[in-house]
Each structure stands twice: as structure tokens, then as C-alpha cells.
Amino acid sequence: MNRVRVKFCGITSSGDADKAVLAGADSIGFVFFKDSPRYVTPEYAEAIIKDMPPFVTSVGVFVNEDLRFVEDCVEKCGLTAVQLHGDETPEYCLRFKNLNLRGAKLIKGIRVKDKESIRSIEDCQADAILLDAYKADMYGGTGRVLDISLAILAKEYGRKLIISGGLNSDNVYEAIKEIRPYGVDVSSGIESSPGKKNAELMEEFTCEVRRAEQD
């Protein structure tokens, strides 16, 4: 199996960023959605990103934001990638891609409710698709487990898939073996409380990802 990338999302402090790096994160996610308990300001994220090692990527998470704000955050923070996790249209995604902001990659988050949700992948111009568990009126960080059968259907579109939704060290091994994704994304599954990461849980999670790769 190819190497599975690990993204620890919802980092809210430099201390937690350091723990994530030590635990083996490939990417660190910063949530710029004000309704989230993991929200950080662009200025705060910028300060953390400046101290990150060169081979760890930074991902800004946005929900139904004005494109100009997304553009400003990419430029200010030096984001490696942008994750659109709201109801952004294919046209919005294409507009972002056409801007070619510092070469930042685009990840489109899809809240997977049913087969129709999966079909939306076809029209989405993104470098990777992130599948998250659906919960009405919540955009990520729900702790709900992704429907693996629907995630497997998504593989038919031949896109780089990142899976999310209720992942933790107890279930990520099986999820990887079933879906064989490009990457995994975890937030609540590595926390002591919303927005506060747990170093031990992060290390356990990464160990299970690497075990799945080797088996």
C-alpha cells in the first residue's frame, strides 16, 4: 500500500502544532470558520505556521467564505493548501483554481449523506476530495463516523480521497484497509476537549496508520 498522508486538523496553539509534528503529521489544519470551537484567526495561524518544519504542510479550512478572504489568508499565512468545507459550488472551486494562489492546492470537503453526495465529485475541480460524515447544520468536527460503503463508491471517480469523520486510533486501521485512501484527516479523535489536542492520542493514531500501510 502507498503511504497514507495524515492530517491533524483544528490546531489552535503552537504547543499542539509541535505535538502534531512530533507525532508524525504530514499536514496541520487551521480552521478559519468562526462558528467552530477550533477557530483561529489568520494572524494567529500565521504565527504558528512560521515555526512549522518545511516538510509539514499547512491547510486552511474555510466554510462558505468570500473568495477574497480565502485569498488573503493564503497570502498572509503562506498556506500550502485550502480546504473548502462548506457548500461551495463547482464554479467557486474553479475560480479558486484559476487564481493559482502561491500554488496552493485545493481540497474540497464533501459531507457524505447519500449516493447523491458522492456524485457531486464528478463536477468538482479539486486536487483532492475529502469525505466527511454528514450532520445537519454542522460543517466538520462532528465526531460522527463516515459511511465506509459510500466512501468506497467514491473511489470510482479516480480522485485522491482523504477520509474523515469519527476517525480515531480504534477505527482508522480498518478504514484504511477498506478504502485505501490517499490520506486521513482527524480532529475530535485526537482531542482531550474541543480544540485541545492530546499528544498520546496523536501518536497512537499515527501508529495505527503506519500499521495499516504495512499489513
* Domain ranges for the chain: 5-214
Give tens-digit pLDDT for 10-67.
999 999 999 999 999 999 999 999 999 999 999 999 999 999 999 999 999 999 999 9
Predicted confidence (pLDDT) per residue in 105-126, tens digit: 999 999 988 888 899 999 999 9
Cell of 213: 500501510
- Residues designated as active site: 9, 132
Beta strands 196-197 and 191-193 are antiparallel
Domain 5-214 homologous superfamily, CATH: Aldolase class I (3.20.20.70)
Predicted pLDDT of residue 104:
97
Q: How confident is the model at residue 138 (pLDDT cuts 50, 70, 90)?
A: low
The percent of residues in the chain predicted with pLDDT above 90, rounded, is 83
DSSP letters, 85-96, are -SS--HHHHHHH
Q: Which of 209, 175, 187 is nearest to 29 (CA)?
A: 187
Integer angstrom CA distances of residue 165 from 40, 49, 84, 144, 188: 21, 25, 16, 5, 9
DSSP-assigned beta bridge partners for residue 83 = 61, 107
The answer to whether residue 192 scores a pLDDT higher than 90 is yes
